[in-house]
Amino acid sequence: MTSALQADNYVPERAIDEIADFIADPVNAADFPQHILRFRNDRAAATVGLDRLDDAQWITHFGRFGPLPGAQPAPLALRYHGHQFRYYNPDLGDGRGFLFAQLRERAEAGGRLLDLGTKGSGLTPYSRTADGRLTLKGGVREILATEMLEALGVTTSRSFSLIETGEQLVRGDEPSPTRSAVLVRLSHGHIRIGSFQRLAYRGETENIARLADYCLRYLLDMPPGDNAALTLLAAMVERAADLAASYMVAGFVHGVLNSDNINISGESFDYGPWRFTPYWTPGFTAAYFDQTGLYAFARQPEAIHWNLVQLARSLISIADQDALIAILQRYADIYEQRLIARFLWRLGHDAPDMAAARAFVIAAVEALREGEVPIDRFFFDWRRGQRSGSLYGSEAWDKAREAAAALTLRPGALDHAYWQGDGPCSMHIDEVEALWAAIDSGDDWAPLMAKIAAIRAMGAAHGRAAPAKGLTS
């Protein structure tokens, strides 16, 4: 086992020990009746020195949760509160997951401190009336979400491992009984806005300061200084605005942007009823229970800002209120800048100046809002210079074409073979259901693996998204 972890970049850390006394509880993993390895992300594993594990070793660590050498000896369920659909809930926390290990990413990949966290790993003190389990379909859906988002430049957690566990689960939103699994994620931290909310709710001012210090040093790579709370909020505003912009350009609807689902690192994570909207439909929702459209496609930037306000409220005991408000007011401008930058990145073009870029994005979004052209089709066609034809025949598209005249194609933007294909790679609900049906009815995993390969090819064709100022991920 040790020889498999001799990679130069296998660097376990235990930074969480600095704050575990007030934010975590040791727990045990469930003892599952079966372990069938369904997915291992060796591309992600290579960044933390775990790609040399054979399948048996992989299952030992990510199915039975035997501790990794040098990592924490026991899993930790994290404590947090949060607003769920804007109603405060003090009865949250890791109910079916835990922090398993922390590892340092290899330097050329960024050198960040990364967490291995779980979903469906068993009961914790915060499970309430739930069973602590994950359905296999839920695990498959998370793999698809994270792979697609990563390919589209969204800063996201990565699905690291999926192991089927041989139990039959009953769920109200899936045909039951249904198969079980345990998922492992590789994330840039698991500290949420709700982590700060819990401490504020309990009046733990000293621990708020300790948590802010931890987040700055380990998640944001910034010195805490004398105004840690203000530094933290400013960094979070920038990253969250970029996250909101990236969702819009990807056509992604998270579905449950509650404050307990917003990572302080600015990384997208915790995928439940997500969907990609086929068209630029402002009111498109992902969750059947989002009956008011609170987290609809076009309301996501607003929802993320609302959560930032809750973070600021949690920091009032250690920071000046007026200074916090001033930082929050930067969000709208940063969001617009990042929306434009990410829009042009996906299009593979540059603009001569911000005014020209802004004019084009406004015109393109207005044309997309007509609902006749799929989002993925637009970016695929227009990157390749295919901007005419009946699909783009309306007056709104005429205006978009006129604005696009100022843009220039980036060198190498069409070099990948993906751009010579017949159409874009997409991930709409009918595709998700078809992939699951193959697994559910015939235990056929080949279509899923083929889809992952296609998604990764698309990601290679797009290249790496330019991060917002100050971002390292």
- What positions carry a catalytic annotation? 260
Contact 455, 425 (CB under 8 A): yes
What is d(CA 120, CA 141) in angstroms, rounded to the nearest whole number?
14
Q: 334 is written with which tokens? A: 């940063």
Q: How far is CA 394 from the centre of its chain?
A: 35
Nearest to 77 by CA among 18, 126, 15: 126
- Three-state secondary structure string covering the chain: CHHHHCCCCCCEECHHHHCHHHHEEECCCCCCCCCEEEEECHHHHHCCCCCCCCHHHHHHHHCCCCCCCCCCCCCEEECCCEEECCEEECCCCCCCCCEEEEEECCHHHCCCEEEEEEECCCCCCCCCCCCCCEEHHHHHHHHHHHHHHHHCCCCECEEEEEEEEEEEECCCCCCCCEEEEEEEEEECCCCEHHHHHHHHHCCCHHHHHHHHHHHHHHHCCCCCCCCHHHHHHHHHHHHHHHHHHHHHHHCEECCCCCHHHCECCCCECCCCCCEECCCCCCCCCCCCCCCCCCCCHHHHHHHHHHHHHHHHHHCHHHCCHHHHHHHHCCHHHHHHHHHHHHHHHHHCEECCCHHHHHHHHHHHHHHHCCCCCCHHHHHHHHHCCCCCCHHHCCHHHHHHHHHHCCCEECCCCCCCHHHHCCCCCCCCHHHHHHHHHHHHHHCCCHHHHHHHHHHHHHHHHHCCCCCCCCCCC
Q: 308 is written with which tokens? A: 């930032």
Q: 463 is written with which tokens? A: 């290249």
What is d(CA 62, CA 118) in angstroms, rounded to the nearest whole number?
9
Nearest to 12 by CA among 52, 68, 80: 68
Do the strands 76-78 and 113-119 form a parallel or antiparallel pair, or are they unpaired? unpaired
Contact 112, 263 (CB under 8 A): no
Residue with tokens 């990948």: 416
